[in-house]
Amino acid sequence: MVDSYGTVGSELAQGFQDAGYTPLRVQSTPEAPTGLRGQPDRYPYPVDIVHGGDLGATLAALMPFGPVAVVAGTEPGVELADALSEALHPITGAPTNGTALSRARRDKYLMVERIKQQGLRGARQILVADEDQLRNWHNEVGGTVIVKPLRSAANDGVTWCRNPEDAVQAFRRLNGRENILSQCNDGVVAQECLIGMEYTVDTVSRDGVHQVCDIWESHRISANGIPDLLVAWRLLLATGEVQDELVAYARAVLDALGIRHGAAHAEIKMTPNGPCLVEVGARIAGANLPEGARMGTGRSQIDWTVDAYVRPETFARNSGRPYDLHQHVARATMVAPGSGTLISYHSLEAIKELESFHDMQVRVNPGQQLTLTTDDLTYPIFVTLVHEVGELVARDLWTLRYLDGVSFYELA
């Protein structure tokens, strides 16, 4: 388990333990990246190895245990997991995606260029070299463009730029800084702003067979200076006109990026010209989506991942069929409209009284500092809704938006 953090890491480790395997943990850096601090993986690993930059030394520390699988727990662990699995494959048979396309599985510019080279639809973009290049390209493309770091996560630094000067200002702010994964000077990409509903397609693969675990429709609002702020995910049926098009495209993206083994989390815009990749992570989804999928379908990306790596016969027997949706599920966020010391939330009881209410995760409690919501790390509350009637979940999602707002928060 490389860079496993949070409940997903703990649940995945327990899944391997239950299957009869001992989970080992490898950290790609001595300290947790900034964006993952406060999200500990509480599984009691018997071995926890810190990678010091020497692949041979890390392999030597692992070899006495004969690892049969290497799994990236979070985004920063993808490239090290690729390198370790590639080295272990001829020795222990560990499945591997190899390292030839590792950079394209992390670098957002290379990722989109790779899928376009393979004949798939991808955004117009440039790797930003300097301000004049960016200004000229924005003038040529016109309209709004997106400027973002190459290798970050959680919408860190993603900036909507309506004109070339906005784009240049975003480049100045992002270029050379440390991202939330504690990586310095990771570079900047500018992309056309894709228009359309955004979906998430979560998969697990074994030997190039891609099982779709769950498909989510995302809901977005314009707030706090962010034109496309994510506020909810709603679990969809496995099949349908839109879903079928998304799944075919997602599977082609996985093939193009060499993701033959393990989990993937693809974010795709359904544009007027068809599906177009935002980005894909070669790891399990965050935001507690796997648990939501398990409530809705009976299985999660975590369950499929364990089977793919250590029970391939079970994976082969169960894969290839669309999932069944037994309950409708949505994950929603509350959006802090300002910053300050939180005195209290208003209407928390009204949320709990929603007919489809399942649970609530409060990230910021009274007395703590509330931060203006601008990305995935600044939501103060997550709410999970579950019900057998989809229309009721939809109603409660809109009710949450009604309850949220300036009057929901009392600040000092």
Q: For residue 295, what pLDDT is reported?
A: 98
Q: Check whether residue 95 and residue 188 sit in a common domain.
A: no
Q: Cα–Cα–Cα angle for 376, 241, 193, nearest 5°? A: 40
The answer to whether residue 406 sits within a structural domain is yes
The answer to whether residue 111 sits within a structural domain is no
Q: For residue 180, what pLDDT is reported?
A: 66
Q: Check whether residue 308 and residue 213 sit in a common domain.
A: yes
Q: Check whether residue 282 and residue 163 sit in a common domain.
A: no
Last residue of a domain, one of 136, 166, 192: 192
Q: Check whether residue 86 and residue 135 sit in a common domain.
A: no
Q: What is the CATH number of the domain that holds 397?
A: 3.90.1170.30
The answer to whether residue 105 sits within a structural domain is no
Q: For residue 287, what pLDDT is reported?
A: 87
Q: For residue 185, what pLDDT is reported?
A: 66
Residues of the chain with pLDDT under 50: none
Tell me 53's DSSP state: S
Q: What does the pLDDT look like over 184-215, one tens digit per residue?
A: 767 899 999 999 999 999 999 999 999 999 99
The answer to whether residue 309 sits within a structural domain is yes
Q: Check whether residue 95 and residue 155 sit in a common domain.
A: no
The answer to whether residue 390 sits within a structural domain is yes
Q: For residue 47, what pLDDT is reported?
A: 95
C-alpha dihedral sign at 339, 184, 279, 210: negative
Report which residue type is found at 113: E
Quote the CA–CA distance of 169 and 159 in Å, as a whole number.
Answer: 10
Q: Check whether residue 137 and residue 36 sit in a common domain.
A: no
Q: What does the pLDDT look like over 320-355, one tens digit per residue?
A: 999 999 999 999 999 999 999 999 999 999 999 999
The answer to whether residue 335 sits within a structural domain is yes
Q: For residue 38, what pLDDT is reported?
A: 81
Q: Check whether residue 29 and residue 138 sit in a common domain.
A: no
In Å, what is the CA distance from 65 to each residue of 30, 78, 91, 94, 137?
22, 21, 12, 13, 52
| Parent domain of 301 | 194-326
User: How buried is residue 274: exposed, middle or buried, by Cβ count under 10 Å (0-12/13-18/19+)?
Assistant: middle
Number of domains making up the chain = 4
Pairing of strands 409-411, 340-345: antiparallel
The answer to whether residue 248 sits within a structural domain is yes
Q: What is the CATH number of the domain that holds 158?
A: 3.30.1490.20
Q: What is the CATH number of the domain that holds 244?
A: 3.30.470.20
Q: Check whether residue 199 and residue 321 sit in a common domain.
A: yes
Last residue of a domain, one of 306, 326, 346: 326
The answer to whether residue 115 sits within a structural domain is no
